[in-house]
Every structure is written in C-alpha cells, then in structure tokens.
C-alpha cells in the first residue's frame, strides 16, 4: 500500500459551512480565506492563501507527521488528499492508482476529523459497519467484521451503545475502528491528539499504534505538537509560508533542521543571536558568550547576522574559579549570572555581558551556577542559520 | 465535480426562490394601487393611491390602525417585561422546572386561538373588560408571553454566567450587575422579543374577534371585512399595511442586534 | 448557572413555577376549564351530551378531516420543499446566506396578508386566471380550476406552503450548518456515494432534528382561523370556523358542540406541545 503526492497545490479552506472540530483558539479559522477576500487585522497581508509544490510519499504501515503552525494549511492538505476540497494543481496516487480526479468515496482514503464524527442516529456497531454497508456487504458479515475491529481496539463491549453515551477516548477509538473497517489504503488524521487530557491522549495514542500495525494503511497525521509526531511517525514533513520546508526521518530532522523556521517549528532549540565573521580559522560564529567554529553552519551567507540554535543540554555553563580565572578558554568572554529560573528538566538563566546586555540561555537543570557567579558558556552542536 | 452544472442549477433554484417569496407580495402591491382592475386584465389599467390614503383619512380605518398599533406596542412591552424574568428564573432552575415552563409556554402558543379565545372570553367578561381594548390586550398577552418565554428561556439556558461572576467579584452589587452587565448584553434578545411580541399582537385575528366581540376593530379584522365585501384594492392595501411594519420591526431588531457587542457564549 | 445558587433552593425552584403558573397557566387552565365546563353543560347554557353529539356528527367529522388534511398536506409539502432547497444550498456558505435572507421574507408576513395574497393569486377572478385567459387557455373565469374555497382546500395548502416553507428552510439550514458538512465528509471518505450519504446520513438526521418544528407548523395550521376564513371552503368548514359557527348559533346544542370541538382541538394541541418539548434536544 502506498500514497504518493506530487506537486500538490490548493487554496486554504473553501468557505465551508460550519467546520466543527476546529478549536476556537486556532488562528487558522481567521487565516482560512480564499484569495481576494478582505484582509483582516490579524492575518498578515502577505500570508499565503494556499499551499503549493507539496511532494512526498508514504509506504504502507508508515506514518508521516505533518508539522506546522496554525494556519499553515495542514488541514487543507488532508482534505484535498481526501477529495473533500478541490486541488489547484498536482497529482495524488494511491497504490499506484491516480485518484486525483476521483470523488472521495472511490479513493480508499479515510479522513478522520479532530473531533470524532460519529453518526448520532446509529449505534456504535452500526457506525463501524457503515463502510461495509455502503459497499453492499451483507449485514451479518458486516456486523461480524465490525465486531472484530471493535475488539482490536478494545471497545467491543460498547457495540450496542449510542455515540452520545461514549466518553471522549471511547469515541476516538470507535471512530478509528470505523475507519479501519473501511480497509483504506490511506488514513488521514487531523490533529488526533489535540485538546485531549494527558490520560486520554495516551489512550488514543496507543489506539493509533494498534491501528497502524493492524491495518497496514499509510498514515498521514497532522499536528502542531512535536511530541505527538515523534511518538508515532516514521517521517516528518514541515510546512511553512505555503511551502514544504522539510521532509525527513525524525532523528535526521532533529539533528539537522534545514532552516531556522523549521528549527523554530520543532520548538526544541534555544536561539542565540550573533554574527558570522571571517577569522584565520575560517568562518566563525561570534556571540556575546564567545565563538563557535562554524563547520556546522547552514547559513546562506558566509558573513553577517546569524542565529545559533542549540538544545538545552548542549549549552554548558562553567563557573570561573575563586580568583576569577576562566577555566576552559582564557580568551572567552566572561558573563555574569543575573537571573535563574528552574523548570522540570531545564533551567532558564539570564546572563549579562560586559556591555550590560542581557542574554537568556537554556541549559540542563543540573547546572551549578548561582546569581552573581561569573561564567563561561560553551556551545556544542550549534546549528547556525541566517535569520529568515 | 461538475461545478458548472451545479452552479446553473443553484442559480435557477435561487431565482425560483426569489420569485416564490416575492410574487404574492408584489401582487398585493399592484392590487392595492389598481383602480377598477377587472378580469381579464393582467395589468391594471389605472393606478391610484386612494386605498392607501384612506388608511389615514377614513375614520374607521384609521381607528383600526391605531388600535393595532397601540395593542402591538403594549403587548410587546408588557410581554417582554413579564417573560424576561420568567425565562431567566426558569433557565436557572432544574431541568424539570425548565421543561414545565417550556411546556406551558408552548401550550399557550400551540393552543388553537379560537379555543383559547372562547376560554378567555369568560375570564375577560369576569374582569369586566368584555369588548374593550384592555380585554383584547389581556388576550393577546397570553400567546405573546408564551412565545417570549420560550425565547428568553433559550437565551438564558445558553447564558454565560462567567461575566456576572467576574463583575460580582469585582465588587458590583446585584443592581449594578443588572444595569452594567446583563441589560447591555441582553439588548439583542430584548430587541428580538419586542419585535416578536409586537408581531404576535399585530397579526392576531381569532383572539381579537372572540374576546373583542366585534367591538374592537384592528387592522387584520379590517382587512378581512374588506375582503368579504369584495373590496380587493382596500383589502390589498390593508394587507400590505399589515405586512410592512412587520418587515420593518424585524429589520430594526436585526439592526439593533448588529450594533451590540454580544458576548453571550 | 451555579452562581445564583446563593439563593435558597426553594426560591429557585418555586419561583419560576409560580410565575409561569400566574402568567401562562392560569389563562390556559381557565380557558380549558371553561371549555370543559361548557362541554359538561355546566356553563354557557349548553345542552348536555355535547361530547357524544359532536363525535357522531357527520359535519364535525368532515371538518376534522378537512383540517387534518390541510395541515398534513401543507406541512409535508413545505417540509419537502424546505429539504430540497436546504440540501441544494447547504454546503456553500455564501449561497446558504443568500437563501436565508430570501427565506426570511415571508416569515414576518401576517397570516391574513398571506391569505389575501394567495386569494388574489389563485381565485377564479385572480391573477393566474387572468393570465390563463390572456394565454387563451380558458375562455371564462369559471373555467379556471377552483383553487380556493374548494373541497380540496388547495388554496389553503398553497398559503401554508408559502408561509411555512421558509420557516422550515431556515430550521433546516441552521441544522445543516451545525455539523452537516462534517457528517457528510465522514460518510464520503468512508466510501459512501453522494446518494448514499444523503439517504443514510443527511436526510434522516435532518428530519429528526426538524420534528419539533414540524409539529409546531402542523399545530399552527390546524388552528388558524385566518386561513380558514379567507381560503377554505364553506363546506365542509374548517375546524376553527366550525367552532365559531356553532358557538354563535342560536340553539344550545350547538354551543355544547362548539365547546367540545374546541376542547378536543386544545387537547390535541397540548399533546403536540408535550411531544414537541419531549423531542426537542435539551441543551
């Protein structure tokens, strides 16, 4: 089973009547406008009105997570792939078959809304058997298969209940069972874990894993939370400014994000502002806390303003000894700790440089520095980018 | 997706809908202005505004119009004043209370006006208001309060009490909460309620006939009388005179609503 | 909602009931009571045995049949029309808004005015008849089919559809906009064709949601005096007119019948009120 998408382009959100399942906090509801519509104060004037040049493929039983900020078009992408929204350009192939011109019911692509949409007038078992019923499969056989899927998702005891009687987690599982009962080649999940309590989240996350293994369908899930993506995805694709900005395995992406916007999207890096300069040793990144040889730079220019992205555990603070002598690198600038705030696994430390400017750094919470200490900062594995 | 075909189909349906909605009203308009419009003329030969003018110049017609206006405005105000606290109290109560109140309210609305009218005749006679404007007002209030209670019940059931709570913790007294928080937010529902209350009385036929006993003339009764005596032009003018304020009143309510910053959750 | 629980419980429970009782209950109870008393012959000088007489009177039964026919046919046609239009416009927000605005037009029109308009349109001396004559489809007015004051009450049904189709349309559109699109999207990607989605998901849910409104329309048409006075036939008389006629008759036996019929109509309406309330989705 596979899904292949090439050069896909679409407009953001048709003016559909009532799109439930969109959390009210999402700015995307305001960003979803057709081009030519009046700009509102909260949408930047140059915000893209659609996506283009989207290209990727997913093998069966693999899972692609699509990561992007609210309004980046993730839902529109899914809906276009499902056939619920027209595409402006590009091609979609499911199992080698070109489905671009086909209506939703013929694509073998199931779309799952963020809030499970169960048919309120049918019982759970009738909901799950629905895809078989519309295919003309006899009721007895349809019921048997539906029960099997309910069992696989561990909700078989709910078979005769009505959707209104189910809890949140149960509804998600039933919706999944129904989707899998349709034996799709592709499963599209729109923010499946958003707005769920942690416990329910784990529950539904487990259900998704079961689904992936049991069905062999290619999964594409959309999320704005990296943890959710990491939990289940075999590949991650990021969207930004109406384009695809990265497509790679999670490990590769985290180790080497291709651009500053992608790094920001991943949300795991601290940013330090500085500049790239030419030294005898080659191009070097210089910031208030010292210099970093820029072998690892992805900056587009060899000189000028730049941003270093570092994980918290790659920021190393070393206290100066009692006589104020720096230990690691005598030439590195000495910074003074002026503030410290501890989180669960990280500490936010405010440093002041010789010029009096404050810099915030994130480091591991085990760091042994106190306010008033003079420190020296070492950065490891810094990714240097040009500012966007 | 055959968008071209569906577009045309929708266009046709839209046009049909427009024709459906406006044709009878247009006919009323033309008839009200047509002098001596006899069969089989499709278009009137002569036009005048005589029937319209009479609404204001003829004593009987003017009286009917005035009665209708007075009854309408009075019903709107009194019914709103009564239904608002009732709807609110019911919404804040238990589910059972809400159900009973909704039932009574809907009953007042659903009861056939003729039956209600016969029943109310006795009440009005006992109160000594038989055949008077006040008696008819009392009769109109029954379905009006019913309708408006349903409206306010709906409004307050979905009400966001957080705003009042915030105001209270900021130090606002009960009265201040009413005047500074509730009433401004209620502008839209109150406007709707006033409009609806007015319309319930304005369009009323059966109750006026039965309780007024023929002594109280309102515009709808006037229209019926004109029709029964074959005066189509006057009947049409009256019918339109009946319709236009209804459209205006609802339109005004919409405008008032749009100007409110309604924050009802 | 819990905010007001600072009041004693008895106030929050008793108060609204008292108010409702005073404002709504009393007139209804008195009204119904009067009807009952009249039926039993206690007041109104009616001769006893009215109930039995009324139920066996052929005229009463024919009137009931006519009124029920009009209410049913009118409601069904209005419902079908509303469904067709709502499903046609339901999924495009812009079209749906336009449809809503147009539908809002007949809503506030008083029933009397609507009845007059339909009369002017459909009667044998009315506008359609004149057009027919101009197009030489008929030679004299009386050749035009009797659409008003006719035994089938076609004129009344047309007026009902004109007034109530827009109302039902608005209800349908608002129901559709709630979650209609999400439901049909889910069904489509699960493999259902447009037609299957309509048949199995959209229509059943829509109609279920509209049941309270349908009941309201039915009850309204059943009891409307204006429609009967302007458009209904003179034989058999529609129920509201029958009640009035009997009430104003000179003999006491007829008075009794009037009370009975009014009472029965009221009971029917109150049953409908119960059904309406019971079937409404409680928030």
Q: What is the pLDDT of residue B259?
A: 57
Q: Residue B251 is encoded by which pair of tokens?
A: 């339109």
Please indicate whether, in this complex, the C-beta atoms of C180 and A18 are within 8 angstroms of each other. yes
Please indicate whether, in this complex, the C-beta atoms of B22 and C118 are within 8 angstroms of each other. no
Report yes or no on C247 lying in a domain: yes
**Residue A288: in which H helix or E strand, if any?**
none
Q: What is the DSSP string of A293-306?
A: EGGGB--SSSSEEE
Parallel, antiparallel, or unpaired: how do β-strands A335-342 and A374-379 relate?
Answer: antiparallel
Please indicate whether, in this complex, the C-beta atoms of C125 and B27 are within 8 angstroms of each other. no
pLDDT in tens, B156-202: 887 777 887 888 888 888 788 878 888 888 888 898 899 999 999 99
- Picking from B103, B205, B240, the nearest residue to C274 by CB comes out as B103
Q: What is the dihedral of CA C268, C269, C272, C278, to 10 degrees?
A: -120
Distance CA A143, CA A150 (A): 10
A368 or C187, which is more confident? C187
Domain that residue C47 falls in? 34-279
Q: What is the DSSP letter of C201?
A: I
- Picking from B114, B239, B242, the nearest residue to C240 by CB comes out as B114
Please indicate whether, in this complex, the C-beta atoms of C191 and A105 are within 8 angstroms of each other. yes
Res C191 pLDDT > 90: yes
Please indicate whether, in this complex, the C-beta atoms of C186 and A111 are within 8 angstroms of each other. yes
With both helix axes pointing from N to C terminus, report the angle between C203-223 and C252-279 in degrees, rounded to the nearest 10: 160
Res A262 pLDDT > 70: yes
Report yes or no on C19 lying in a domain: no
Shortest Cα–Cα distance, B130 to chain C (Å) = 15
Please count the other Cβ atoms lying within 10 Å of the Cβ belonging to residue C133.
19
**Residue A272: in which H helix or E strand, if any?**
strand A269-279
**Is residue C80 less than 8 Å (CB to CB) from chain B?**
no
Provide mean pLDDT across the span A57-66.
91
Report yes or no on C86 lying in a domain: yes
Q: A9 and A87 in contact (C-beta within 8 Å)?
A: yes
- Picking from A15, A105, A119, the nearest residue to C94 by CB comes out as A15
C51 or A7, which is more confident? A7
Neighbours of chain A (3+ CB pairs under 8 A): C
Classify the C-alpha dihedral C13-C16-C19-C20 as positive or negative.
Answer: negative
**What are chain A's domains?**
2-255 (3.40.50.300), 268-385 (2.40.50.140)
Distance CA C210, CA C198 (A): 16
Report yes or no on C10 lying in a domain: no
Q: What is the DSSP string of A202-269?
A: HHHHHHHHHHHHHH--EEEEEES-HHHHHHH-SEEEEEETTEEEEEE-HHHHHHS-SSHHHHHHHT-E
Q: What is the pLDDT of residue C262?
A: 84
Q: What is the pLDDT of residue A388?
A: 67
- Picking from B89, B107, B232, the nearest residue to C270 by CB comes out as B107
Res C263 pLDDT > 50: yes
What region, left, alpha or beta, does residue A51 occupy, with left being phi > 0 and alpha being psi -120 to 50 degrees? beta
Q: What is the DSSP letter of B216?
A: S
Distance CA C31, CA B120 (A): 5
Mean pLDDT of chain A: 82
Domain spans in chain B, listed from the N-terminal domain onward: 1-48, 50-258
- In C, minimum Cα distance to A84 occurs at C185
Parallel, antiparallel, or unpaired: how do β-strands A269-279 and A282-287 relate?
Answer: antiparallel
With both helix axes pointing from N to C terminus, report the angle between C203-223 and B95-110 in degrees, rounded to the nearest 10: 50
Please indicate whether, in this complex, the C-beta atoms of C103 and B25 are within 8 angstroms of each other. no
Distance CA B20, CA B208 (A): 30
A315 or A34, which is more confident? A315
Helix (H/G/I), strand (E/B), else coil: A347:
strand
Band (A374; pLDDT cuts 50, 70, 90): confident
- Contact list in B for residue C6 (CB cut-off 8 A) is none
Provide mean pLDDT across the span C83-111.
82
**Is residue C97 less than 8 Å (CB to CB) from chain A?**
no
ipTM of the complex: 0.86
Around C189, how many Cα atoms within 13 Å sit in the side-chain half-sphere? 30
Distance CA C76, CA B38 (A): 35
Provide mean pLDDT across the span C47-71.
79
Report yes or no on C184 lying in a domain: yes
Neighbours of chain C (3+ CB pairs under 8 A): A, B
Partners of A270 in beta bridges: A310
On the question of a cis peptide bond just before residue C272, with omega within 30 degrees of 0, the verdict is: no
Question: The domain spanning residue C198 has which CATH number?
Answer: 1.10.3720.10
Q: Residue A203 is encoded by which pair of tokens?
A: 């529950």
**Is residue B93 less than 8 Å (CB to CB) from chain C?**
yes
Q: A36 and C199 in contact (C-beta within 8 Å)?
A: no
Classify the C-alpha dihedral B200-B205-B207-B211 as positive or negative.
Answer: positive
Q: C64 and C243 in contact (C-beta within 8 Å)?
A: no
Please indicate whether, in this complex, the C-beta atoms of A17 and C179 are within 8 angstroms of each other. no
**Is residue C101 less than 8 Å (CB to CB) from chain A?**
no
- In B, minimum Cα distance to C163 occurs at B21
Provide mean pLDDT across the span A160-185.
93
CA distances from A224 to A75, A195, C79, C234 (A): 11, 11, 44, 70
Please indicate whether, in this complex, the C-beta atoms of A111 and C185 are within 8 angstroms of each other. yes
Distance CA A63, CA A236 (A): 9
Helix (H/G/I), strand (E/B), else coil: A121:
coil
Q: Residue C204 is encoded by which pair of tokens?
A: 């059943």
On the question of a cis peptide bond just before residue B72, with omega within 30 degrees of 0, the verdict is: no
- In C, minimum Cα distance to A15 occurs at C93
Classify the C-alpha dihedral A156-A162-A166-A171 as positive or negative.
Answer: positive
pLDDT in tens, A325-359: 656 666 778 888 899 998 888 888 898 888 888 88
Helix (H/G/I), strand (E/B), else coil: C48:
coil
Q: What percent of chain B has pLDDT over 70?
A: 94
CA distances from A149 to A145, A186, B142, C182 (A): 6, 17, 57, 23
Distance CA C199, CA A79 (A): 23
Report yes or no on C149 lying in a domain: yes
Q: What is the pLDDT of residue A35?
A: 33
Q: C127 and C121 in contact (C-beta within 8 Å)?
A: yes
**Is residue C34 less than 8 Å (CB to CB) from chain B?**
yes
Q: Which of A50, A57, A55 is nearest to A88 (CA)?
A: A50
Band (C281; pLDDT cuts 50, 70, 90): low
- In B, minimum Cα distance to C240 occurs at B114
Band (A1; pLDDT cuts 50, 70, 90): low
Q: C44 and C263 in contact (C-beta within 8 Å)?
A: no
Report yes or no on C242 lying in a domain: yes
Report yes or no on C253 lying in a domain: yes
Q: Residue A215 is encoded by which pair of tokens?
A: 């069905």
Cα C279–chain centre separation: 17
Please indicate whether, in this complex, the C-beta atoms of A103 and C180 are within 8 angstroms of each other. no
* Total domains, chain C: 1
- CATH 3.40.190.10 is held by the domain B50-258: no
Phi, psi (deg, nearest 5) at residue B224: -60, -40
Q: What is the pLDDT of residue C117?
A: 94
pLDDT in tens, B208-263: 998 888 889 999 999 999 998 988 899 999 999 999 988 888 777 777 666 544 33
pLDDT in tens, A5-26: 888 888 876 433 333 333 332 2
């Amino acid at each position: 089973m596979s899904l292949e998408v090439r050069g896909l382009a679409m407009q953001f959100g048709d003016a559909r009547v009532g799109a439930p399942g969109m959390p009210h906090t999402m700015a995307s509801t305001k960003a979803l406008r057709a081009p030519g519509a009046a700009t509102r104060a909260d949408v930047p004037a140059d915000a893209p009105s659609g996506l283009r040049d989207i290209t990727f493929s997913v093998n069966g039983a693999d899972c692609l997570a699509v990561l992007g900020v609210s309004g980046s078009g993730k839902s529109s992408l899914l809906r276009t792939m499902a056939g619920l929204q027209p595409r402006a350009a590009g091609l979609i192939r499911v199992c080698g078959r070109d489905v671009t011109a086909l209506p939703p019911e013929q694509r073998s692509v199931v779309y799952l809304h963020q809030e499970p949409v169960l048919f309120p007038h049918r019982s759970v078992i009738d909901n799950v058997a629905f895809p078989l019923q519309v295919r003309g499969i006899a009721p007895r056989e349809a019921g048997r298969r539906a029960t099997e899927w309910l069992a696989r998702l561990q909700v078989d005891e709910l078979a005769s209940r009505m959707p209104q009687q189910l809890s949140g987690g149960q509804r998600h599982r039933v919706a999944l069972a129904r989707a899998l009962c349709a034996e799709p080649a592709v499963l599209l999940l729109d923010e499946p874990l958003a707005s769920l309590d942690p416990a329910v989240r784990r529950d539904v996350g487990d259900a998704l894993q079961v689904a992936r293994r049991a069905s062999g369908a290619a999964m594409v899930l959309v999320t704005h939370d990296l943890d959710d993506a990491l939990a289940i995805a075999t590949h991650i694709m990021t969207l930004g400014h109406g384009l695809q900005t990265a497509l790679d395995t999670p490990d590769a992406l985290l180790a080497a994000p291709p651009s500053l916007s992608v790094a920001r999207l991943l949300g795991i890096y601290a940013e330090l502002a500085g500049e790239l300069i030419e030294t005898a040793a080659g191009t070097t990144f210089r910031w208030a806390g010292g210099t970093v040889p820029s072998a690892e730079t992805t900056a587009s220019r060899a000189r000028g303003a730049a941003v270093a992205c570092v994980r918290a555990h790659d920021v190393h603070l070393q206290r100066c000894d009692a006589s104020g002598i720096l230990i690691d690198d005598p030439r590195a600038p000495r910074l003074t700790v002026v503030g410290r705030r501890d989180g669960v696994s990280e500490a936010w430390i405010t440093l002041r440089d010789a010029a009096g400017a404050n810099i915030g750094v994130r480091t591991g919470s085990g760091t042994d520095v106190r306010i008033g200490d003079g420190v020296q900062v070492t950065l490891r594995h810094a990714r240097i980018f040009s500012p966007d | 997706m055959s968008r071209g075909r569906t577009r045309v189909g929708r266009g046709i349906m839209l046009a049909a809908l427009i024709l459906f909605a406006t044709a009878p009203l247009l006919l009323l308009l033309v008839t009200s202005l047509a002098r001596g419009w006899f069969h089989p003329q499709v278009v009137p030969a002569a036009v005048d505004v005589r029937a319209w003018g009479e609404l204001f110049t003829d004593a009987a017609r003017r009286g009917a119009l005035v009665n209708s206006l007075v009854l309408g405005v009075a019903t709107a105000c009194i019914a709103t004043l009564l239904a608002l606290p009732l709807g609110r109290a019911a919404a804040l109560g238990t589910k059972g209370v809400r159900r009973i109140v909704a039932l009574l309210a809907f009953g007042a609305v659903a009861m056939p006006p003729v039956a209600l009218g016969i029943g109310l005749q006795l009440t009005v006679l006992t109160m000594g208001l038989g055949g008077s404007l006040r008696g008819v007002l009392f009769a109109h209030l029954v379905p009006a309060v019913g309708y408006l209670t349903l409206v306010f019940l709906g409004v307050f059931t979905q009400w966001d009490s957080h705003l009042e709570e915030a105001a209270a913790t900021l130090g606002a007294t009960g009265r201040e909460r009413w005047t500074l928080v509730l009433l401004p937010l209620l502008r839209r529902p109150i406007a709707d309620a006033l409009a609806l209350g007015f319309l319930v009385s304005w369009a009323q036929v059966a109750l006026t006939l039965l309780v007024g006993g023929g002594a109280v003339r309102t515009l709808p009764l006037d229209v019926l009388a004109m029709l029964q005596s074959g005066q189509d032009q006057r009947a049409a003018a009256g019918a339109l005179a009946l319709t236009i304020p209804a459209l205006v009143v609802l339109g005004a309510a919409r405008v008032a609503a749009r100007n409110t910053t309604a924050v009802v959750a | 909602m819990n905010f007001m629980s600072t009041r004693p419980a008895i106030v929050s429970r008793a108060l609204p009931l008292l108010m409702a009782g005073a404002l709504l209950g009393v007139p209804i109870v008195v009204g119904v009571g009067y009807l009952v008393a009249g039926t039993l012959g206690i007041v109104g000088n009616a001769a006893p045995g009215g109930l039995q007489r009324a139920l066996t009177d052929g005229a009463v039964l024919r009137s009931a049949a006519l009124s029920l026919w009009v209410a049913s046919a009118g409601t069904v046609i209005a419902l079908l029309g509303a469904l067709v239009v709502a499903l046609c416009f339901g999924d495009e927000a812009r079209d749906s808004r336009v449809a809503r605005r147009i539908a809002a037009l007949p809503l506030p029109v008083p029933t009397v005015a609507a009845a007059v308009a339909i009369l002017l349109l459909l009667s044998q001396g009315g506008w359609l008849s004149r057009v027919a004559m101009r197009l030489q489809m008929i030679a004299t007015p009386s050749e035009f089919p009797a659409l008003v004051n006719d035994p089938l009450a076609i004129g009344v049904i047309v007026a009902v559809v004109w007034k109530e189709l827009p109302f039902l349309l608005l209800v349908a559109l608002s129901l559709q906009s709630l979650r209609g699109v999400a439901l049909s999207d889910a069904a489509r990607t699960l493999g259902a064709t447009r037609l299957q989605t309509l048949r199995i998901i959209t229509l059943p849910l829509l109609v279920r949601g509209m049941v309270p409104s349908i009941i309201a329309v039915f009850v309204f048409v059943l009891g409307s005096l204006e429609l009967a006075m302007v458009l209904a036939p003179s034989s058999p008389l529609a129920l509201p007119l029958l009640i009035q006629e009997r009430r104003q008759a000179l003999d006491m036996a007829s008075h009794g019948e009037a009370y009975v019929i009014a009472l029965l109509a009221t009971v029917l309406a109150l049953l409908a009120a119960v059904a309406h309330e019971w079937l409404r989705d409680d928030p």
